[in-house]
Amino acid sequence: MPDALLVSAPVAVPFLGAVLALLLRERAGAARITGLLTTIVLAVLSLALFLRTAGGERLVGSVFGGWPKPFGIGFTAALPGAALVLVTALVALATAIYALSDIGPRRRRSGYDALVLAMLGAVNGAFLTDDLFNLYVWFELALISALGLLTLDRRRTQIDGAIRYAAFGMMGATFILIGVGMIYGVTGTLDIGRAAAALADRPPSLASAVAAALLLGGFALKAGLFPFHLWLPASYHTAPVAVTALFAGLLTKMGFYALLLVFAGLFGVGSGGDAAAQLVPVLGWIAAATMLVCAAGALAQTDMRRLLAYHVVAQVGYMMAGLALATREGLAAAVFYMIHSIIVQANLFFGAGLIRRASGSWDMTRTGGMVRREPLFALLFAVPVLSLAGIPPLSGFWAKMIVIRESFDADLAWLGGIALLAGLMTIVSMALFWSDACWKEPRKGQPRHRLPRGGLLAMALLSGATLSIGLMPGWLWTIAQLSARALGAIG
């Protein structure tokens, strides 16, 4: 396949599949097959794209509409975007398998398959763009798809969650759009590489500082970082499990990737840019507050979905810590952590959904007995639980260790210490989760339902990926280092 088609395929294929699924949505079986086959094709093409860029190569795709670059809508495949597209496809495939038993005909007739595919196209568009305005557009397309998925069942709690999601999403979009406009006014371009070169040639100004603040606020909202985190636990738990797992794995990471792209690529954080010295303290305190507040918030939860939603945000705090180090190694640590977290957090929501199916409740205090009743599930679920807690040799141990090590190496021991404290709180939280949901005896009268094979297969796919990273972390660390180098070289 020509490079131009290969680069645009991770965006074009899901959108074409979404159109077909929308046309077939009244035939739930056909829509389901369309969604599954599109996801398989996406996984194959994403793997091919990753293999073409894994050595650090940069592939430039076609620019649509006849407009010359940097004004047209084009795609550029390079690390870390190509690696994130591959991980997105992996999580999407696992979600499609899980959804075979989680999403029934009524939800499919409501447009589930089309909305999921449209969201995947938008997420991949953000990972493959190098244009600020196009980045904003992909976020808005993802927001529209997410709102449709949040309200699939038309329940009052879903409408309430969608309103919160939309309000914060539109607030973030406003900040981003104004910030993008100010960058264009200062540099005369929306291309991130050209804008970075223009900013590097001039001293920091009030306009560029305000633009940086607006972009930080907007993308922090999208990523759920402190103090903009409360909307996420209040909205994620209202969606079906397959949807929540996809959100947990992809959407906050999409927001953090934008922070990496803008602050490492545009403002030079991690490569010694003048803006870095002013931005680093702010980024560090946001990371520290996010890790501590959200890890503590998770300890107070008994609803499995809300507990995991707090951990979604807390883990973004670790990624933010990597960015706040303002070193090449810190950026690599953030990329490593992001890839690990996408896989683990989607898998945790799969596990929570299966526990609820087996016990009939989302409340951890009303569950139990999964180790004896479903030993295969307990084995598969132990992998993401232990990985999130940072237990060696799983991927979460390496991710946390790298962030903490680089914090001490960068003379930011206080940030590494906070990461350690938040990690200990996460261990306690996950231990309580495992004890309540899996180890303790089930309550009397608890319903006993068999777990669907599709759900176990989806978990096996992601647990296998987590184990492969944990047992062989070197290859991902190499990809992360190449990614950090690519981000620093954008300007």
Mean pLDDT, range 150-170, rounded to an integer:
83
pTM: 0.95
For residue 58, count CB atoms less than 10 angstroms from its CB and return exposed for 0-12, middle for 13-18, buried for 19 or more.
Answer: middle
pLDDT for 363 beyond 60 = yes
| Degrees to nearest 5, angle at CA 225 with 333 and 257 | 45
Which tokens go with 36? 């599954």
Say if residue 490 is exposed, middle or buried (CB neighbours under 10 Å; 0-12, 13-18, 19+).
buried
Strands of 115-230, DSSP E: none
pLDDT tens sequence across 296-324: 999 999 999 999 999 999 999 999 999 99
Closest CA to 353 of 287, 451, 441, 286: 451
Angle between helices 304-324 and 274-299 (to 10 degrees): 160
Given a cut of 80, whether residue 443 has pLDDT beyond it is: no
Q: Assess whether pLDDT exceeds 90 at residue 409.
A: yes
Q: Give pLDDT tens digits for 97-121.
A: 999 998 999 999 999 999 999 999 9
pLDDT top residue among 164 and 376: 376
Residue-wise pLDDT for 174-192, tens only, equals 999 999 999 999 999 988 9
Give me the pLDDT at residue 237, please.
74
Mean pLDDT of the chain: 90
Q: Count Cβ neighbours within 10 Å for each residue of 418-456 and write b for 16 or more, e otherwise.
A: bbbebbebbbebbebbbebbbebebeeebeeeebbebbb
The helix-helix angle for 375-389 and 395-409 (nearest 10°) equals 0
Range of weakest confidence among 204-208, 247-251, 461-465: 204-208
pLDDT band at 205; cut points 50, 70, 90: confident
Higher-scoring residue by pLDDT: 202, 287 = 287
Higher local confidence (pLDDT), 64 or 15: 15
pLDDT, residue 276, reads 58
Beta strand extents in 44-109 (DSSP E only) = 59-64, 73-77
Mean pLDDT confidence for 330-346: 97
Q: What percent of the chain has pLDDT over 70?
A: 94
Average pLDDT over residues 65-91: 83
pLDDT at 63: 62
Tell me what pLDDT residue 182 has: 95
Confidence of residue 273 (pLDDT cuts 50, 70, 90): low
pLDDT band at 446 (very low <50, low <70, confident <90, very high): low
At 416, the amino acid letter reads G
